[in-house]
Every structure is written in structure tokens, then in C-alpha cells.
Chains A and B, each alone.
Chain A
């Protein structure tokens, strides 16, 4: 039974990178290495705080700060560890990668030091706002934090300041701001209904709203769900609200692309889960709608990925598709469904960050990122090649990589809930993913290069880039071989969603007993393997 404990950790996880950002903006340009050191320290501090939050929540605690405005349960813990962990690796990668990028690009009116200062400053604030979203217990501040993460990443998307980057930056800020405004309407409707039951201040707190959302009128639920799905769904890249995503993910500097695809989409899904799942126990059609949207997204994303020549755009569309899988699990709504969704969310974050960073390494060494311009790189860049292949196989759901485990759990959840149509479409689309990514890996690394001379002087990426990629690849492999390592945090995180409707501090003794959104047979032995024995 989780107990609430007052702790500075949730606030520290946000404040440390935010403060690092302030220091970088103030002093970053004066010394050559200071901004990089501050960035590593900032995100490193956030990682340490996040790991401590994770350890506390595994002990069954819920950490709160500032009169429960910051609130970290098992679901928040999973996200903050993911954000700060991948954020740390992306920042280390950026220290080497961005120096090279800034030296190579031609941007008037701005020295390299100023541009890098801006880059690391916004990067820290971007990470801080994403962490804030995941520990915010105030439904309006959840919206504020999610929108703040868009603002903080806007100039990062437009960083290269050329025609393509500016176009991507404009679309990114405009479309996401319009989209997220719908989420504000949704949050306000939920608050207004909650405040009528709970009283003004408590109506803002997600931890209290989860106990009363079942009493809302059906019209309120339908309207709020529609606004929340459009709003947070736009940010999560859910089709048909995804058009900003391929542009932004492809044109941003690679470490930012890795964070956008690997982490930011997950923050939006987290916001969606936190808010829309409030209605699951009593309004199951909401879950069915989410499931349908997820299946539509996973198919559309992969079909679009199939047509791409630009490696980063291909990966971006693949992210759309994989977010469809996550949404499919959220829509299934049973404990195994939510568990599978969170498992796939974790695996996709690791594998997609790996793929983007591998493409960054290719761009670093060759200056190209079009599949048609590349070939035969495996001999020159073997580490990058194998890391890309590992990421491709992981996303495609091929054993022994992590994606296999989460997709299996997802399909088992779908079968258990009786939504065979979704399982069949998901399986077929997985084959398309395999074709898209492995074909790209084969052509870029093992195919014959279109221009032998252009590939002649190519060398493996610098050591720092290789180390970061290898670490991510080992995580993908390690979780694939030994998935039990992540069972406990994932199970605890999925239990948070499954106990909506109950008091959060008296978490379900039997979460499986609650009526799932779609009917599931929790006695299934395969489910027991994935979710542990029924308590």
C-alpha cells in the first residue's frame, strides 16, 4: 500500500536542469567548456534525483513536494528515469556532435559559442519542462508544462536556421500550440467538473480527480476526452494530428531529434494516460476510441515510412507508427494492455534514440542522410552499423531485442481482450516496420554505395558517439534477453492506471479485480508471466 511522503526529490528533478539552463545562458559563452560541463551536471543531477525517485516508488512510496503540487508515483518515476536517462546520453553525445555541426554550418550574426550556449540552455529547459510535466499533480500545470516543453524546443528545432529548419520550426510551434490549446480546454472542463465535487483547490489535483471522475456527466466525459485526445494526441504525434512530426524530427539537430522522438512523444502519451484514463473505469467507449485511433496511427505511420528516402524522416514516421502501438495498449485498457503500452513506450524510447543517434553518426561522418546517397558503410563504420541494426530489429520486434518482448505482451493483451482485428493489423504492420528499417540498414551499411569516391574517406564516428550508441544498444539487448529486470517498475506503473477510481494512497490490493475497459481474462497463464501472479 503506497504511502505519501514529503520529499524534495520531485522538485529537485525539475529545478536542477532548469537552474543549469539559467547558468548556461548567463555564463556559458565566457568559457569554452563551461556550457558542456554545466549541461552534463544539470542532466546528471536530474538523473540522480530521478533514480532516487524510482527507488522510493519501488519501495511503495509516493513522493510529494510543494503541498502535493509535485507528485511522483510509480508511473511518474518510470517517465522521469526515462527522460533523464536518455537526456543524459543525448547530452553527452551532443557535446561532441554539436561542436562539429556548429563549426560546419554557416550562420551569420552568431558565433559558435553563442549558438552552443543557446543550444545547451534550451536543451536543459526542454528536459526540465518534460520532467515537470511528469511530476505535476496539478492538471492545469500539466498543460502548462507540456506547452512549455514545446516552447523550449521550438528554437532547438529551428537551430540550423536554414530554410528547412525555419519551416519545420514554424510548423512545430504553430501546430503544437494550436493542438495543445484543445488540451487546455479539456483540462479546464475536467477541473470545472472536479471542483464541483471536490471543492476549488482539490479539483486541480490529479491525485484527487482520479477518485471522482466516475461521477462526471457523460457529456462532460465525451467533450473532455475529445479535447484531451486532440490536444495531447497532437503532441504525441497521433494520426491524423501528426504532420508537424516528420518535419521537426528530421530538421532538428540529431541529439534533439533523439529526445523529441525518444522522450517528448512519451511525455505527451503520459499526459494522455493521466487524463483520459480518469474516465476508463466507468466509460469504456473512450478506451475503444483510443484503441481505434492507435491502430489507425500505427498503420499510417508505417506506410508513410515506407515511402521515405531521408533516413531521419523515415525514423520520424516510424515513431508515429510506434506511438500507435503504445496507444493501442492504452486503448486495450486492461492491466496487461497498460503494462504492454508502458513496456513498448520504454523500449521505443531506447531503440528510437539509438536509431536517431546512429543516423547522426552517419551524417557526422558522411555529411549525407539520404538512403539513396549512402551504401557500404559497415566496413568503415562497423559499430554504427551494428548499433543501427540493433535498433532496427528492436523496433521491429525481433528477438532477442526488447521490442519483441513488448510487442508480444501487446498482442497477448489484445488477444486476451478479444480485439483480434487490432492484433492482426498490429502483427502485419510489424512486418512492414521490419521491411522499412532492415531494408534501410541493409542499403546504407551493407549495400553498394552509389558513389564509391564519396565514401572513400569515411571513418567511424568519434569514440564518444560510439559509446553512447553502444550503451543504448546494450539496453535494448539486455531488456530483450532479461525482461524481468523491468517487470517491477512497469507493473507498479501500470497499477497506477488500473487503480483510477480508488484512493491513490490505498492502492488496489487487487488491481485485476477492477472492471477493465475491455474484457480481459486475467487468469491466462501468459498474463501471469507478464504481470506476475495475482495478489
Chain B
């Protein structure tokens, strides 16, 4: 039996952790916020598993790839340089922007999520609506982080949030998806994160910084 209170609480916390991961200027704090978010996804998947038991497998996959491996790679990559390069938008303005973005995105997607909910009614449909609204909001925050953050490591955290948003939406959009496809999707994210951080390690070595504004060797 689905527990709506639990799901709503976890969903709300998802948005809070996204905010923390984007706005924390200390990269390790942002990594911890991201790890908490990954654990929340696992919790949400387990909560939804009352409705669809195959989600237990998803939760286990998310635990390994999102809550253990990706944060570990991020933690290692920030050794020696934990403070984020000053972003394009300052903390005060950014916090206001993020709150506006969060609210607008949540309300908009919550109002229109019915487009994607096929064949569900009552409480199940209401929870699917919440799930999709949270997923799209986290996705939008990830995109915001990639676009406004100068630090390459922070853009990777933004990418992780973006991917979390998409993966969370799968619960409602594609509950019957095969395990092989899901494993493929989850594995790719963690490999991409690893490779990006590996290349960022090279950038730190050659440019003595992870500031993406300094990546100006190549012009149009």
C-alpha cells in the first residue's frame, strides 16, 4: 500500500537537497547534499515499490550508482580544492532565482503532469503527478546549475541532478521498463561522471584551475 505522506515528505526533501547541492559553495558540502538526494531517490523508489515491486531493483541500482559511486568520485575529485569557483550569479541573487525557478517549475509541471499519466486514477494519479512535478523541478535545477556555475566540478553535480530528475520521472512514465534498460541508463551516468571528473583532473593540472571561464583555447 502506498504511503502518500511518506512520498510527499521524501519528494519535498528532494527539492531541498537539490537547492543545497546547487547553492553550497563548498564542493564537498554540495557532494554530501547530492548523496542525500540519491538516498532519498532510493527511499522514494522503495516507497513506490509497494505499487510496483520491480522498483526494488531500481532502488538497489540507484543506491550503488548514485548514492555510493558518483559521490565517491566527486569527493575524490575535490581533494585539495574544495571551494567552488565564484559562480556567474552571486549567492543572494542565485538563491532568489532558484526559489522562483523551483516554485514556477513545480506549479507548472504539477498542473500539466496529467498529460503523461495514462490509465491511473485517484491516489495513484495524484502521487504520479507529485512525482513528475518533483522530477521536472530537479531536472530544471540541474540545468540551472550547469548554465550558471563556472566551476567544472559543480557543473558535474548539476549534471547529476539533471539525471536524477529524469530517472525519477521514469517511476511514473515507464514503470514497466526492463531491468536491462534501467541498468544501462544508471551505469552510463556513473561512467560519464567518472570520465568527466577524470578529464577535469587533467584540466586542473594543465590550467591550474577548474574554472570553465579559463577554457578559452578554442574559439568559434
Contact = CB atoms under 8 A, between A and B. Distances in A.
B116 interface: yes
B90 interface: no
A138 B181 contact: yes
Contacts of B115: 217, 219-220, 223
Contact of A191 (B119, B156, B174, B212): B174
A184 B166 contact: yes
Interface residues of B, number: 41
Interface stretch (A27-35, A81-89, A162-170, A406-414): A162-170
B140 to A, nearest CB: 12
B118 interface: yes
A174 B162 CA distance: 12
Is the contact region of chain B dominated by helix, strand, or loop, or is it mixed?
helix
B190 to A, nearest CB: 10
Most buried by A among B159, B166, B188: B188
Most buried by B among A144, A167, A168, A223: A167
Contact of B199 (A162, A173, A195, A250): A173
Contacts of A161: 202
A200 B177 CA distance: 7
A456 to B, nearest CB: 30
Contact of A184 (B146, B185, B198, B212): B185
Interface string A164-203: 1011111101100110010011001101110110001101
Contact of B174 (A178, A188, A217): A188
A151 interface: yes
B162 A181 contact: yes
B170 interface: yes
A380 to B, nearest CB: 30
Contacts of B64: none
A416 interface: no
A73 interface: no
A147 interface: yes
B155 interface: yes
A246 interface: yes
B178 A201 contact: yes
A197 to B, nearest CB: 9
A167 B212 CA distance: 9
A148 interface: yes
A158 interface: yes
A174 B188 contact: no
A251 interface: yes
A177 B200 CA distance: 15
A304 interface: yes
Contacts of A143: 185
A141 B169 CA distance: 17
Contacts of B215: 167, 170-171
Contacts of A193: 118
Contacts of B178: 138, 140, 201, 204
A138 B143 CA distance: 27
B188 A144 contact: yes
Interface string B96-138: 0000000000000000000110110000000000000000000
A147 B188 contact: yes
B173 A247 contact: no
B202 A158 contact: yes
Interface string B167-193: 001100110111011001100100110
Contact of A177 (B143, B159, B198, B217): B159
Interface of B: 115-116, 118-119, 143, 146, 152, 155-156, 159, 162-163, 166, 169-170, 173-174, 176-178, 180-181, 184-185, 188, 191-192, 195-196, 198-200, 202-203, 206-207, 212, 215, 217-218, 220
Interface of A: 138, 140-141, 143-144, 147-148, 150-151, 154-155, 158, 161-164, 166-171, 173-174, 177-178, 181, 184-185, 188-189, 191-193, 195-196, 200-201, 203-204, 217, 219-220, 223, 243, 246-247, 250-251, 304
Given A173-B195, A181-B162, 19 more contacts: A138-B178, A140-B181, A141-B180, A141-B184, A144-B184, A148-B188, A151-B188, A161-B202, A164-B218, A170-B196, A173-B192, A174-B159, A178-B146, A192-B173, A195-B174, A201-B176, A220-B115, A247-B218, A251-B218
Shortest Cβ-Cβ A-B pairs, 4 listed = A200-B176, A144-B184, A140-B181, A196-B118
6 contacts: A151-B191, A158-B202, A166-B207, A174-B155, A181-B163, A188-B173
